[in-house]
Chains A and B, each alone.
Chain A
Amino acid sequence: MKIGSNSMDPFLNMVNISKSFLDVKALQEVNLSINENEIVGLVGENGAGKSTLVKILAGVYKADQGKISIDGKDIYFNNPQDAKKHGIGIVFQEQSILNNMTVYENLFLGQEKFFLNFGVLSKERMLKEACEILAELDIDIVPTRNANTLSFVQREMIEIARNVWLARKSNAKVPIILLDEPTTALEQNDIKFLFQKLNELKKHTAIIFISHRLEEIVTLCDRVYVLKDGKNVGCFSKDDISENLLRSKMVGKELVGEFYQSSMQRKAGEKVVLELKGCFNKHAFYDVSFQLKEGEILSICGTIGSGKEALCKAIFGITKFDSGEVYIDGVDVKGSINSPMDAFNKGIGYIPEDRRNEGLILNLPIFENITLTVLKKLKSHGMVSRKKQFEVTEKMVKKIDIRSASIAALCKNLSGGNQQKVVLGKWLLSGNKILVMSHPTRGVDVGAKQQIYTLMREMVNDGVSLITMGDSFEEDIGLANRIIIMKDGKIMTIIDANESKPTSVDLIKYIV
């Protein structure tokens, strides 16, 4: 890094940034720089310091040490507003679009002062500017639309537009957009769309992109910084990046090939635990028939709208089958599964995609969450025995390696990976033999992903059968014994992955 030489200085430069929270050193002398018209990737495991670093850049946190300069001038932020004045805007993972307001109101939220005529808001001017900025960034959304009708990716576009607009208003030379895991909740098509937009946007901005999905980083970014334990462990330019390289740098050891624990894959048993015959749901899928064998991992692939989500929900009784037959252990259960409770009693479990809202009770501690399905078994003298709850939880926490200071820690304070382990632990305890998993590793870092894969393998060894919808084709291929491919509500084919694994291309040809 050349500091001091004028012409070659990067546009934005963060030098020797350090930050501690109490005794934990979140960042130690980290450097990051970015130029105009560049997309810089930032990867690292959870806790590696990525979020802390971008939050410092966005003015949310103050660095203990180090300096930030833009265009050669040192700058200091006291709050996010200061950062915004320099054109730095962050698009948070949790999103900051208000559902009860329109698109244009969301665009200018907090900046209404630009639209005052003698103290009165001029909605006309707001609309005009909204149209202009949306047109300029080629975002095809009507500004008067209610934000609650927007898709996830559209909301992200609005947030990006908000930041670009604000950077302009503040006379910043180049808007710097920080994207904190923008693709976590997106489907393949939307990701493609977002990337296309980001590549267009690059022409007049600088973008910092954080993602857990390394294949995205590889395709999108011009340069990638890897953080580990709060330190720089490398910066690679586009030509050098590969997924395996990043993965090994992030974890600090090679895990190539064995990432999905394929060697642990076992052959499915002969017994059919779940069978669907000609199942039909008028909203979502048609004539779906398949068998799930004991100890099998069955992946369901398909784009959004392929009916896979609805199918999984129907198996767990959240939505219903309009017709068709369902057998569990050879017994016809059609008509007797009308709710998740019924499905649970028949031995089916469900791990929802949105674990923060549906999978966990965030305000309850780990032990309450983990024992939720087995409280009946933990009774003594008619009351739930806290002692038994603790015992059972301690055992499970040890078994599946949930990392937390105490089993009484609230679930909302756990990392994504640990939260998912709590959900898995809950179903492990329940003893249910069929588990439907919707995106089990979504938003989980690489290390924890691998642990979850291992856990899934172990569950299968114990005779549990899994139906899973993975986050990527690679995950589906890596994990599954068989892969069901759905398109437009129908099963296109079922690929056997027992002997030899198919490639992504094999799957895609059925989907498009």
Chain B
Amino acid sequence: MIVVKMKQDTDDFFLKKYSREKIALLISGKASFIALCSLIVIFSFSAHNFFSLSNLTNILDLSAILLLTSTAMTFVLMLGSIDLSVEGIAGLTGIVGALMVKNFSNSNDYGLLSIIICILIGAIFGLLNGIVFTKLKIPSFMTTLGLGAVATGVGILVTRGYPVIITDQSIRGLALTKLLGGVIPLLFVIAITINLLIWFVSERTILGRHVIAIGGDEAIVKDLGIKIDLVKIIVFAISGAMFGLAGMLLVARLGAGDIKNSIGLLFDAVAASLIGGIAITGGIGKIPHAAIGAITLTILRNGMVLLGISPYIQQGVVGTIIILTVAVTIERKKIGVIK
């Protein structure tokens, strides 16, 4: 009898709590998506030209480069590391790229080849990041911050700080072309394709699974004979390459290579990744979440502009909302210790 009574009590307890638990369960992993939807709903009702085709195109366009950098950032975060060199690498490759295509500063005309060079330069810096991080055993936080500054320094040195204005229409066309009747920007297509590619890599290749495993518990993975350093170096090279591409795409959009182009990329990339629900401690999260995070952040900025919110307080609002979103999305149960 006692046992039966007790079982009933516990059942009651679970039933009562079930609703809350159920909600938590439903939300987990989808919180970033829910946040995105609610933002869309809120802005659709409050800003009258938000929910229009032209603004949709605008949002996709604005989110493209962020999508690229946040994808790379998410991949690195999954590893349990972080790559803070995005502004340095993208700034440098932007300048190098701008100097290689038709521009006002010299007579080069390498066209689309410049993009490959930018990706290579990014990859080389990424490789350096990875090697310094793994072989000198300097935390990735410090390594990438330092090498990022080096990249910025090289960029400044090359142009003495002056912007390089480009006239190359094929490059500009990357940012100006819209597909499907002028609705979907080419930039966004490039970015989302890369996002899906990295998703595939993370889910269906040995490298990708080992990234998740290392993010989960490095010590265990090491005992299983997995080459941790190699995985890390490859991941940093990939993220560096993507930052390099982002630098050139920025030039395509802005029409000039300038070390100041990339300012703000770092904050946005980390913020978008976290809004997407990745655990900063690694091992948890999915690559497409980076896309959701990037679009969410872009919509937030776009919506505030449409609402006429003063630019002086926009940044504060973004910061607050990031903290709130992360507070909702982060899956604390899975993380254990929050550092």
- Contact (Cβ within 8 A) B215 A81: no
Residue of B nearest to A59 (CB): B225
In the complex, A98 has a CB within 8 A of chain B: yes
Pick from B2-10, B144-152, B252-260 the stretch touching chain A.
B2-10
With an 8 A cutoff between CB atoms, is A363 at the interface? Answer: no
Within 8 A of A (CB), among B209-247: 209-210, 212-213, 215-217, 220-221, 223-226
Q: Is B13 an interface residue (CB 8 A)?
A: yes
B225-A488 in contact (CB<8A): no
Closest CB of chain A to B212's CB: distance in Å?
Answer: 6
Whether B204 sits at the interface, judged by CB under 8 Å, is: yes
The distance from the CB of A415 to the nearest CB of chain B, in whole angstroms, is 20
A119 surroundings in chain B (CB, below 8 A): 205
Within A75-102, which residues are at the interface with B (CB < 8 Å)? 79-81, 84, 92, 95-101
Q: Given the complex, which residues of A lie within 8 Å of B3, measured CB to CB?
A: 488
Residue A204 at the B interface, CB < 8 A? Answer: no
Contact of A109 among B6, B215, B224, B284 (CB under 8 A): B224
Residues of A within 8 A of B206 (CB): 112-113, 116, 121
B208 to chain A, nearest CB (A): 8
The closest CB in chain B to the CB of A80 belongs to: B225
Do residues B216 and A96 form an inter-chain contact, with CB atoms below 8 A?
no
Q: Which of A79, A113, A286 has the most CB of B within 10 A?
A: A286
Minimal beta-carbon separation of A510 from chain B (angstroms): 14
For the complex, give the distance between the alpha carbons of A101 and B334 in Å: 11
Those 9 A-B pairs whose CB atoms lie nearest each other, nearest first: A110-B224, A98-B216, A100-B283, A100-B216, A96-B220, A81-B225, A112-B206, A121-B204, A110-B226
The answer to whether A99 and B2 touch (CB under 8 A), given A109-B221, A109-B224, A110-B224, is: no
Shortest distance between the CB of A113 and any CB in chain B (Å): 7
Q: Which residues of A contact B10 (CB under 8 A)?
A: 282-283
Q: Contacts A98-B213, A99-B334, A105-B209; is A80 near B223 (CB within 8 Å)?
A: yes
How many residue-residue contacts, CB under 8 A, span A and B?
A: 69
Q: Does A120 contact B (CB under 8 A)?
A: yes
Q: Can you name 27 A-B pairs with beta carbons within 8 Å?
A: A81-B225, A92-B223, A95-B220, A97-B220, A98-B283, A99-B283, A99-B334, A100-B212, A100-B283, A100-B284, A101-B212, A101-B213, A105-B213, A110-B221, A110-B225, A110-B226, A112-B209, A112-B210, A113-B206, A116-B206, A120-B205, A121-B206, A123-B204, A282-B10, A283-B13, A286-B6, A488-B6
Cβ B225 vs Cβ A148 within 8 A: no
What residues of chain A have their CB less than 8 Å away from a CB belonging to chain B?
A: 79-81, 84, 92, 95-101, 105, 109-110, 112-113, 116, 119-121, 123, 148, 282-283, 286, 488-490
Report chain A residues within 8 Å CB of B204: 120-121, 123
**A148 CA to B10 CA, complexed, in Å:** 23
Task: Please name the residue on chain A nearest to B206 by beta carbon.
Answer: A112
Residue of B nearest to A283 (CB): B13
Contact assessment for B217 and A282 in the assembled complex, using a CB-CB cutoff below 8 Å: no
Q: Are A148 and B334 in contact, with the CB atoms below 8 A?
A: yes
CA distance A381 to B2 in the complex (A): 59
Shortest Cβ distance from residue B170 to the other chain A in the assembled complex, whole angstroms: 33
The winner among B10, B204, B215 for most chain A CB atoms within 10 A is B204
* Shortest Cβ distance from residue A387 to the other chain B in the assembled complex, whole angstroms: 33
Using a CB–CB distance below 8 Å, which chain B residues touch chain A? Answer: 2-3, 6, 9-10, 13, 203-206, 209-210, 212-213, 215-217, 220-221, 223-226, 283-284, 334
Measured in the bound complex, the distance between the Cα atoms of B3 and A110 in whole Å is 46
Closest to B337 in A: A357
State whether B213 touches A282 (Cβ < 8 A).
Answer: no
- Chain B min CB distance to A90 (Å): 9
Q: How far is the CB of A59 from chain B (nearest CB, A)?
A: 10
**A359 → chain B closest CB, angstroms:** 16
Task: Quote the shortest CB–CB distance from B7 to chain A (angstroms).
Answer: 9
Query: Once bound together, how far apart are the Cα atoms of A96 and B216, in whole Å?
Result: 11
Chain A residues within an 8 Å CB radius of B334: 99-100, 148
By beta carbon, the residue of chain B nearest A116 is B206
Q: Which residues of A contact B203 (CB under 8 A)?
A: 121
- Inter-chain contacts of B213 with A (CB < 8 A): 98, 101, 105, 109
Is B2 a contact of A488 with CB atoms below 8 Å? yes
Query: Chain A nearest CB: distance from B234 CB in Å?
Result: 14
- In the complex where A105-B209, A110-B221, A121-B206 touch, is A100 in contact with B13 (Cβ < 8 A)? no
User: Are A99 and B216 neighbours in the complex by a CB distance under 8 Å?
Assistant: yes
CA distance A169 to B225 in the complex (A): 16
Task: Give the docked Cα–Cα distance between A286 and B217 (Å).
Answer: 39
CB proximity of B198 to chain A, nearest CB, Å: 14
- Smallest CB gap from B215: residue in A: A100
A101: B residues at CB distance < 8 A? 209, 212-213, 216
- Besides A92-B223, A100-B215, 13 other CB < 8 A contacts? A95-B220, A96-B223, A96-B224, A98-B213, A98-B221, A98-B283, A109-B221, A109-B224, A110-B221, A120-B205, A121-B203, A282-B10, A282-B13
Q: Nearest A residue to B78 by beta-carbon distance?
A: A100
Indicate if the CB atoms of A98 and B13 lie closer than 8 Å.
no
In the complex, the chain B residue whose C-beta lies closest to that of A123 is: B204
Q: What is the CA–CA distance of A188 and B109 in the complex, to the nearest angstrom?
A: 76
Task: Give the complex CA separation of A121 and B209 in angstroms.
Answer: 9
Question: Chain A contacts of B13 at CB under 8 A?
Answer: 282-283
* Chain B, Cβ-Cβ closest to A115: B206
A290 to chain B, nearest CB (A): 18
Q: With a CB–CB cut-off of 8 A, which chain B residues contact A98?
A: 213, 216-217, 220-221, 283
Structural contact, A121 and B224, CB atoms closer than 8 A: no
Q: Chain A CB within 10 Å — which of B9, B203, B223 has the most?
A: B223
Most buried by B among A92, A95, A97, A109: A109
Contact with B205, one of A92, A109, A121 (Cβ below 8 angstroms): A121
Which of A110, A112, A148 is the most central at the interface, judged by chain B CB atoms within 10 Å of its CB? A110
